[in-house]
Amino acid sequence: MTTRQRIFWILFTLFIGAVVFIYSFHQVNLKQFCQQISKTNYGWLLFAFVLVIFYYLTMAWILKVLIAPHKASLWGIVRTPWMEQFGNGITPFSIGGQPMQILGLRQAGISVGEGTSVSLMKFVIYQGMIVVAFLICLLFGYQYVANHMLSMTSLVIFGVAIHVLVLLGLIFIMFFPPITEKIANLVLAPFHWFLSEKQTAGIAKKLDQRILEFHVVSNKLAKNPKKLIAASLLTLLQLFIYYAIPYFILLAVGAHNADFIFIVALNVILTLAISIFPVPGGSGGAEIGFSLLFSSFLANHTVTIFAMLIWRILTYYFGIFAGLIAYNLVPSHYDGKNNVKN
C-alpha cells in the first residue's frame, strides 16, 4: 500500500466515522450527554482500556508462539499487531491487515517467507476460533437476538455462513490442493470474458502458488500439535478479551443490570454481524448493531450513544492511530533490507 493509498483510506475511514457519529448525535440531548460525562465511572473505563492493551499483547504472544524457534526483536513483535490493526481498520473487509503483519514481522527479523507462513497459520487458527467462539455463545445469547432482534438475525446467520465457508475452504486446501486448484480454475473461467489470456494466466498462476503455499503451511502446523493448541487457546483468550470490553463500558455508564456472560455472547454476535459490511471497520453497521443489542441495558438513547462512542474509540479508532504510530517506530536495529542486525 502506497503512502497516497494509506492517506486516502485513513481520510475515508474518518469521513465514514464522522458521518455515522453526526447522524447518531442528531437525537442526543446535549445536556444529558454532558451529565453522563460527569457521572461515568472512569475506573471501569480504565479497566476496559487495559483490556484493549492486553488484547494486542495477546496477539503478540500468539505471534511469538508461531515464529518459534526463530528469534525476533521484542519491540518488533509487540508493534506488529498494532500495525495489523492499522491495516485492518482502514481497508474494506480488513484486507490490509495481513500485508502489514508480514511487514511488521520482516522488520522484527523474520524473513518474508517465514512471515507469510506465520501470517497464514494465524489466519487459519483465527478463523477456526471465531467459529468456536460463536458456538460457545449460542449457549447464552443467540436466543435473545432471535426473539428480540430479528433484523440482526439474518446478518448474524450470513456472517456465520461466511466464516464457516472460509474455514471449510481452508480445510479443503489443507487436504485436497489438486482438487482445490481445479475448482479455482473453474471460478476463474468468467475472467476470460473481460481480461486478456495473459492476465488470466497470471492470476491463475498466483492463485495456484498461494494454494500450494497454504497447503505447505497447513501441513507444517498440523505436524506441531503443541504449537497449534497453544496458539488456538491464546486466540480464544484474545477473542474473549475483546468480547468482554463492552461489559465494562456498560458498567462505566451505569448499566449494573448487565450480565457478563450474556454481554460477551451478544458481542460475539455483533462482531459476526458487522464483519460482512464492506467498509473499513464495519462503520455504520457496528454503531447500529451496538445500539440495537445494548440499548435495552441503558437508561436512554443519549447514554447508548455515549457508550457506543467510547466503545468505538477504544476498540477501533485507538487501534488505528496507535498502529499508525507503531508503523513509524521501526526497530532501531532493522537493517532496512531483510532482517534485524545481529
Question: What residue spans define the domains of the chain?
Answer: 3-11+41-328
What's the average model confidence in pLDDT over 289-301?
Answer: 83
Cα–Cα dist 101/98, whole Å: 5
- Grid coordinates given for 69: 524457534
pLDDT of residue 216: 75
Q: Is the pLDDT of residue 125 over 60?
A: yes
Greater confidence, 54 or 127?
Answer: 54
Q: Is the pLDDT of residue 337 over 60?
A: no
Task: Return the ∠ at Cα 176 (arms to 218 and 119), rounded to 5°.
Answer: 25
Rg, C-alpha atoms of the chain: 21
What's the average model confidence in pLDDT over 311-315?
Answer: 93
Residue that is written with C-alpha cell 501470517 in the block: 119
Contact 307, 250 (CB under 8 A): yes
What's the average model confidence in pLDDT over 70-75?
Answer: 88
Q: Is the pLDDT of residue 83 over 90?
A: yes
Length of the chain measured in residues? 342
Closest C-alpha to 5, from 78, 79, 100, 108 = 100
* Environment class of 44 (CB within 10 Å of its CB; exposed 0-12, middle 13-18, buried 19+): middle
Contact 105, 115 (CB under 8 A): yes
Q: Which amino acid is at 58?
A: T
Cβ partners under 8 Å of residue 234, min gap 6: 58, 61, 62, 65
13-27, 52-66, 317-331, range with greatest mean pLDDT: 52-66
Cα–Cα dist 315/274, whole Å: 13
Q: Is the pLDDT of residue 278 over 50?
A: yes
145 band by pLDDT with thresholds 50, 70 and 90: low
Q: Is 0.75 surpassed by the pTM of this model?
A: yes
Low-confidence winner among 32-41, 177-186, 202-211 (lowest mean pLDDT)? 177-186
Neighbours of 292 (CB within 10 A): 18
What are the E-state strand segments in the chain? none
Cα–Cα dist 295/137, whole Å: 20
Cβ partners under 8 Å of residue 84, min gap 6: 59, 97, 98, 100, 101, 104, 323
Contact 235, 212 (CB under 8 A): no
Handedness of CA 151, 155, 160, 161 (dihedral sign): positive
Cβ partners under 8 Å of residue 25, min gap 6: 305
Q: Is the pLDDT of residue 339 over 70?
A: no
Q: Is the pLDDT of residue 341 over 60?
A: no
Greater confidence, 44 or 267?
Answer: 44
118: left (phi over 0), alpha (psi -120 to 50) or beta: alpha
pLDDT of residue 313: 93
What's the average model confidence in pLDDT over 156-177?
Answer: 74
pLDDT of residue 338: 47
Cα–Cα dist 83/146, whole Å: 36
pLDDT of residue 333: 64
pLDDT of residue 142: 63
pLDDT of residue 279: 65
